[in-house]
A and B are shown apart, each in its own frame.
Chain A
Amino acid sequence: MKTAIDGKIIASTFMISLILAFLVLNGMVSDWGRLTGGFGNLKNFFYQSLWPPDWSVLEPQVYPVCTARYPFEFTCSTAWIGVIETIKIAFVATVFGMALSLPLSLAAARNLSPRWLSYSSRFILSAFRSLPSLIWAIFFVILIGMGPLSGVLAMTVYTVGYLGKLWYEAMEGLNKTPLEAAQAMGLNKYETALNVVVPESANDLISHSIFLFEYNFRSGTIIGIVGAGGIGYYIDLYLRFLQYDKVVAYLLIIFLVVLIIDFLSIYARSFFNEEDDLRIPSWSEVFLGIFSSANEADDLSDR
């Protein structure tokens, strides 16, 4: 930071950006009238095709015959099967992505690595990140065929690109004194990474990983569409048959799972709270936290 942060500068920069954004948008839009028509269309579409959601997606499929007993028949439904497969793909991809991101982010952090190494690692990370996971999925489907493995590989590559960046930024934000103390005491890079960098940035590393897991779960809906497995397969199927009410049911289920992952994220991060780290928040506090900002959630859990 070259200069101290000044509230006035932040506020005016933000206002100027906002005005600029409106001007740019106005330049791109030729007819604002379409917006009002759009609302009408949306209303018709919503009541005719989307609402109410068709919850039959939670009923067991006709084939294969469901062997689960009451009240677990829903585990034979397309929604359940799809969600579980997407969660599995997202989990495997996130864990593999974490394993690959660790060395790459350590190498990319400018405070930990020489310049040449940092630049080349950043190059790899941004190459991985520059294509969305959908494109990686198409690539792997072409390469090794349809199925969950393509999904896992696509998500892993994208996870490395994204998580690696978040992680090296967290590492670069570390206070330099512990690193200097380690260097002076004669610890090598490997010992310093394991014993200083990782524990000191664990809070960020974990919350970014959970964020990437949630991101991967959401993008699982998209990459399923190109045949890379998961709930996206069913969404694609019903989109083709124009059964939008079933699609809406799937989307609501996805929303629910994302909320649950958010719960888990705040819960996991609460173990690393600065103020009082052993205080585990109650579920209601966590739930309130989702609708306020992450910082406010931390405040809540401190009470």
Chain B
Amino acid sequence: MQTDADLNEPLLILRDVAIGYHPSDSLVNIPNLEVFPGEIVAIAGPSGIGKSTLLRTIAGLVSPITGRLEVCGAIMPEKPPRGHLGYIPQKLGLVRHASVKHNVELGARAGIKSRKLRQQRSIEAIDIMGLSEKSAEPIRRLSGGQQRRVATARTLAQRPKLILADEFLSELDEETLTSVLEAVTDYVRESKAALIVVEHDISRAKMMADKLLVIDDGRINPFVKGTKAMEVNM
């Protein structure tokens, strides 16, 4: 599917991007950011600073105020890459009245034509997230942690190139957290996808990520490169 050349192309490019909801009032400025296949990037920073807004901008839901934003080679938000972008919003965005299965299959909807394959991928993803027994349950009857796992399964079933996850590990107990995190990072490493995760817990962010971006006072600090994230001053 992917050639070697693809692997050297960044999945995400931001150049001189300012984000926010009002043109005159930018929340965060990002001079330069590239994310490559197989990379995991964590975003940290105080609450209300604009972490979720940054992810929503990358997801094509908010237009950048200025600058250039490319996802999987497509210019956002004009030409979103259909099916290649996985998104786990902070509030999950599940269809509460529908079943776990329905929700997970939604992820595969855009990218996979064959209905059979969609179902198969969904069953696998539900299984990985340990929700097989809840497959037919409506979302509203699940606990907060279970709902987070459904949203994660939805993204795994989709098999996107770039995953945006907004605090997707909160509300999980330690044991579930480890297995969910493992499932997602395994997917990212094996499929040469990339993961951008907002994580308020700095130590957890350092544990999982190759790069750590700290948003502080509206600017992204020069991030630290390396196989594992290093100390970042806040």
Contacts and interface: CB of A to CB of B under 8 A. Distances in A.
B107 A185 contact: yes
A196 B95 contact: yes
A185 B83 contact: yes
A177 B83 contact: no
Given A183-B61, A185-B106, A185-B110, A178 B94 contact: yes
Interface in B113-145: 138, 140-141
Lowest 9 A-B CB distances belong to which pairs? A181-B93, A186-B110, A177-B93, A184-B87, A184-B59, A186-B82, A178-B93, A186-B83, A199-B98
Given A178-B94, A195-B102, A183 B89 contact: no
Interface residues of B, number: 35
Instruction: Identify which of A175, A179, A184, A274 gathers the most chain B CB atoms within 10 Å of its CB.
Output: A184
B111 A186 contact: yes
B158 interface: yes
A191 B108 CA distance: 12
* Interface-central residue, A179, A185, A186, A277, by most chain B CB under 10 Å: A185
12 contacts: A177-B91, A180-B56, A180-B89, A181-B94, A184-B60, A185-B86, A195-B95, A195-B98, A200-B97, A202-B97, A274-B140, A277-B140
A39 to B, nearest CB: 50
Interface of A: 175, 177-188, 191, 195-196, 199-200, 202-203, 272, 274, 277
B15 interface: no
A200 B102 contact: no
B219 interface: no
Q: Which of A179, A182, A191 has the most CB of B within 10 A?
A: A182
Given A200-B95, A200-B96, A181 B102 contact: no
Contacts of A184: 59-61, 80, 85, 87, 164
A280 to B, nearest CB: 15
Classify the interface of chain A: helix, strand, loop or mixed.
helix
A293 B110 CA distance: 42
B131 to A, nearest CB: 18
B89 to A, nearest CB: 5
A185 B158 contact: yes
Given A180-B93, A185-B83, A199-B97, A191 B109 contact: yes
A213 to B, nearest CB: 22
B81 interface: yes
B97 A272 contact: yes
B110 A191 contact: yes
Nearest to A179: B93
Given A196-B106, A203-B97, A181 B85 contact: no
Nearest to A202: B97
Contact of A186 (B84, B92, B164): B84
Interface in B152-167: 154, 158, 160, 164
Contacts of A203: 97
Nearest to B155: A185
Given A181-B89, A199-B97, 6 more contacts: A181-B151, A182-B93, A183-B59, A183-B60, A185-B154, A196-B95
Contact of B109 (A178, A179, A185): A185
Given A177-B91, A181-B93, A203-B97, A187 B102 contact: no
B89 A186 contact: no
Contacts of A191: 109-110
Contact of A178 (B59, B95, B164): B95
